[in-house]
Amino acid sequence: MRDSGVEIQIGYNRRFDAGFVAARDAVRSGELGPLHTVRSTTLDPAPPPAAYIASSGGIFRDCSVHDFDIIRWVTGREVTEVYATGSNCGEPYIAEAGDADTTAAILTLDDATLAVVSNSRHNARGYDVRMELHGFQDSIAVGLEDKLPLRSVEPGVTFPAGTPHDFFMDRFAEAYRAELSAFTEVVAGRRTSPCTVADALEAGWIADACTLFLREHRTVTIKEVRGA
């Protein structure tokens, strides 16, 4: 967004990851058919320090927003309603801050597609970011590759065979490079911002709705948190 010479590009790096770009293209092309289910996962290897948790705004605003943004971007749909839950099974300072270390949310999109979002601060095997998209004609996944931090116990199965991702820079190094390159083009005036303040606000409304649901245990619509 250009405003009095100031260029703004929000740092949602998954929009620049090759797998998520391919998923968006598959949805846009119609090859999956109408979607009925989306699953988005972000699992961190370990929680951040207590001081960070205390000022983070909560897991939905700090972590899940990346899932919320990429669901909107890949599907091209808006979220209308949320259900959310959370628990604390690890570091006590997270609960003391009024936050959860593990959460799940179900988002209803404006075309009735259901999106399931799973997040945790504790995933000892590594940094796990994935997405599944299930349509009436085909199903695809982002993140199913040899560094996936998940171990199969099926007899004879050797996938994944690589060393698991252990850090977000390991998983998204190329996406960050593409994101920075895009920003230089925005600054040079060769393209508009690929991730605007308006995009960030939409992901933020979803995070606020999930946070409210976690606190009050009731269905929350995006219209309610918007005040519309």
Amino acid at 76: G
pLDDT at 227: 85
Global pTM value: 0.94
Averaged over successive runs of 10 residues, the pLDDT of the chain (228 residues) comes to: 65 97 98 98 97 96 97 98 96 96 98 98 97 98 97 95 93 96 93 94 97 95 90
How many whole angstroms separate alpha carbon 136 and alpha carbon 39? 15
- Indicate the domain borders of the chain: 13-150+161-171+195-222
Query: So what's the pLDDT on residue 5?
Result: 55
Q: Can you give the pLDDT at residue 1?
A: 42
Domain 13-150+161-171+195-222, CATH class in plain words: alpha beta
Residue spans of alpha helices (H) in 65-196: 65-75, 92-96, 168-187
Question: What is the H or E stretch that residue 79 is in?
Answer: strand 79-87
Distance CA 42, CA 17 (A): 15
Alpha-carbon dihedral 11, 38, 148, 199, rounded to 10 degrees: 0
Q: Which amino acid type is present at position 146?
A: D
Q: Are 132 and 38 in contact (CB under 8 A)?
A: yes
Contact 107, 82 (CB under 8 A): yes
β-partners of residue 103 are 86, 119
CB 68 within 8 Å of CB 56: no
As to burial, measured by CB atoms within 10 angstroms (0-12 exposed, 13-18 middle, 19+ buried), residue 143 is: buried
Cα 178 from Cα 79, distance rounded (Å): 27
pLDDT at 132: 98
pLDDT at residue 3, as a whole number: 47
How many of the other CB atoms lie within 10 Å of CB of 49? 9
